[in-house]
Chain A
Amino acid sequence: LAKTTQPISMDSYEGQEVNITCSHNNIATNDYITWYQQFPSQGPRFIIQGYKTKVTNEVASLFIPADRKSSTLSLPRVSLSDTAVYYCLGNTDKLIFGTGTRLQVFP
């Protein structure tokens, strides 16, 4: 299974762009990279998924280099409501969540 490593926490201010990088050195050839967001007392919510290069949706962008050993979630112009824990998953079989990155957005 692909083990992922992310920063434990990050701080930002409203309106800034936030980039959270995740490393997944032993990701399998057929695995996608998926990011989730979790608010306190709620289940995680899907943000974005990609295999390689760049994926963009209405919430975020996901950048994956050619070697696929890492990925970067980009949140444009964060707001206070983006304060949450963000998880990256490097496997799509037995879905294992790591410790995630706790993002705190300040006014």
Chain B
Amino acid sequence: EADIYQTPRYLVIGTGKKITLECSQTMGHDKMYWYQQDPGMELHLIHYSYGVNSTEKGDLSSESTVSRIRTEHFPLTLESARPSHTSQYLCASSESSREQFFGPGTRLTVL
């Protein structure tokens, strides 16, 4: 059983609001990732981190930002939400080159 958590699971918010999606893992993994996925579509890597104070942008350009101050915590922030940000956001972690563990996801709807 993977110990990776995301909150909230569902979020409906108005345009222009600042939001932070939380992701935490208790496995001590150095690598953490954020993916964005629309229904029935492929996953897009938007951010990743190889450890504390390390963050990189993924292959899909995103207006979100991330931080990695603690190993177990990798929050994603949108300063000003827009309807185009409506999607599912999946957080994952891994140890070295081994399997990734995914959280349950946050389904974001921006009105």
Task: Write the residues of chain A forming the contact surface with B, with a CB cutoff of 8 angstroms.
Answer: 31-32, 34, 36, 40-46, 49, 87, 92-100
Bound CA span A32–B98, Å: 9
The B interface, classified by DSSP as helix, strand, loop or mixed, is: strand
* B105 with A43: CB separation less than 8 A: yes
Cross-interface CB contact of B43 among A32, A44, A46, A49, cutoff 8 Å: A44
Q: Which residues of A contact B104 (CB under 8 A)?
A: 42-43
Q: Is the beta-carbon distance between B103 and A95 smaller than 8 angstroms?
A: no
| B positions within 8 Å CB-CB of A | 33, 35, 39, 42-43, 45, 48, 56, 58-59, 88, 90, 92, 94, 97-105, 107
Partner of A34, one of B58, B90, B92, B99: B99
**A contact residues around B45 at 8 Å (CB):** 94-97
* Residue from A41, A42, A44 within 8 A of B100 (CB atoms): A44
Q: Least Cβ distance of B96 to chain A in Å?
A: 8
Given contacts A92-B97, A96-B59, A97-B35, contact A44 B42 (CB under 8 A): no
Contact indicator B33/A97 (Cβ below 8 Å): no
In the A-B complex, list the 4 residue pairs whose CB atoms are closest, starting with the nearest.
A43-B102, A92-B97, A46-B99, A97-B43
User: Are A98's CB and B42's CB within 8 A?
Assistant: yes
Residues of chain A lying within 8 A (CB to CB) of residue B56:
94
Q: Are A49 and B105 in contact (CB under 8 A)?
A: no
Residues B58 and A43 in contact, CB atoms below 8 Å apart = no
Instruction: List, sorted by A's number, 23 A–B pairs whose CB atoms are closer than 8 Å.
Output: A34-B99, A40-B39, A41-B107, A42-B105, A43-B90, A43-B92, A44-B100, A44-B102, A45-B102, A49-B99, A92-B98, A93-B97, A94-B56, A94-B58, A95-B33, A95-B45, A95-B94, A96-B45, A97-B42, A97-B45, A98-B42, A99-B42, A100-B42
What chain B residues lie within 8 Å of A43 (beta carbons)?
90, 92, 102-105
Contact between A95 and B100, CB atoms less than 8 A apart: yes
